[in-house]
Amino acid sequence: MCCSSFYNARKEKLVHRMKENVYKVGEQFPTEKELCKEFDVSRTTVRLALSQLVQEGYLIRQRGKGSFVAEPKVNQILSYTENKFGQQLKAQGIKGKIELKNLEVIPANGTEKEKLKLNENDPIQKIKRIRLANNETTQYEISYVPWNIAPGLTKEQLETSLYSTLKEQHNVSIYKTTEMIEVVLADNDIGHYLNCQTGQPCFYIETIAEDKDGKIIEFSKSYFRGDKTNFRIEREYH
């Protein structure tokens, strides 16, 4: 067996143990010495396996303390980050929740005016929300919706799917979204809402939502904790 296959086999065995709760979330993981003895392998092989487990998000290393079993990451299909949020979490056995943090009406100017294709000072609703998975914040979202699209959005409406609310209560259907994703470092505002340290890497997704006539319905900026979330991209070919 080649070296790569050799350590991968050990790594997959350790992953299986974590999934079966032999090693529970938050518990300290066996040391390199203990794993070397159990599997009768070199320390190099063990280090390769552990490094891969850290990279894949199964373990967290703490300097001077060792490795610990990490919380499973929330897996989201990138094509459905808005209206499938609850369904995706439910499929993973995770309880999802949306909390409204702030709602205000502001005049359109700068970036928001440009993205929404509005006139200067047109009223828009600025919506700050967080999304939680098993009561832990994984996403911080700032949405901008023109007032004339859905006037007077309420807290009750915004603590469910925004797109469902627009469709069911305002007869506005999202036909297309354009999303841009990159990695950013959390500033004070992002760190506050995501409950993470300033400077921590986060996924950032900027979304433009349109109706079938090309009218801009929403512009949003979403931040996801990099240590709590990963994304899967699905493509269909016909």
* Judgement on whether residues 80 and 179 belong to the same structural domain of the protein: yes
Counting other chains too, the contacts that 37-41 makes at CB distance below 8 Å and 24 or more residues apart are 39/10, 41/6, 41/7, 41/10
Contact yes or no for 90/96 (Cβ under 8 A): yes
User: Where residue 122 sits, what CATH number does that domain have?
Assistant: 3.40.1410.10
In a domain, 238, yes or no: no
* Judgement on whether residues 216 and 158 belong to the same structural domain of the protein: yes
Cβ contacts of 174 within 8 Å, gap of 6 or more: 82, 83, 163, 166, 167, 209, 210, 211, 217, 218
Domain span including residue 207? 74-232
Confidence bin at 156 (pLDDT 50/70/90): very high
Q: Which two tokens stand for residue 151?
A: 């006037």
Does 167 have pLDDT greater than 80? yes
Of the ranges 16-20, 46-50, 60-64, 137-141, the best mean pLDDT one: 137-141
Q: Say which DSSP state 58 is in.
A: S
Total domains present in the chain? 2
* Judgement on whether residues 119 and 187 belong to the same structural domain of the protein: yes
In a domain, 81, yes or no: yes
* Judgement on whether residues 93 and 166 belong to the same structural domain of the protein: yes
Higher pLDDT, 1 or 158: 158
Instruction: Look at residues 222, 229, 235 and name the one whose alpha carbon lies nearest to residue 82.
Output: 222
Confidence bin at 79 (pLDDT 50/70/90): low
Confidence bin at 192 (pLDDT 50/70/90): very high
Domain termination site, one of 30, 49, 69:
69
Task: Report, as an integer, the average pLDDT of 11-28.
Answer: 87
Domain termination site, one of 38, 69, 100:
69
**What is the C-alpha to C-alpha distance for residues 146 and 31, in angstroms, rounded to an integer?**
55
In a domain, 237, yes or no: no
* Judgement on whether residues 153 and 177 belong to the same structural domain of the protein: yes
In a domain, 113, yes or no: yes
* Judgement on whether residues 154 and 54 belong to the same structural domain of the protein: no
Task: Report, as an integer, the average pLDDT of 157-178.
Answer: 93
Confidence bin at 51 (pLDDT 50/70/90): confident
**What is the C-alpha to C-alpha distance for residues 166 and 164, in angstroms, rounded to an integer?**
5
Strands 229-232 and 74-77: parallel
Cβ contacts of 204 within 8 Å, gap of 6 or more: 181, 182, 183, 184, 221, 222, 223, 224
Task: Report, as an integer, the average pLDDT of 95-99.
Answer: 87
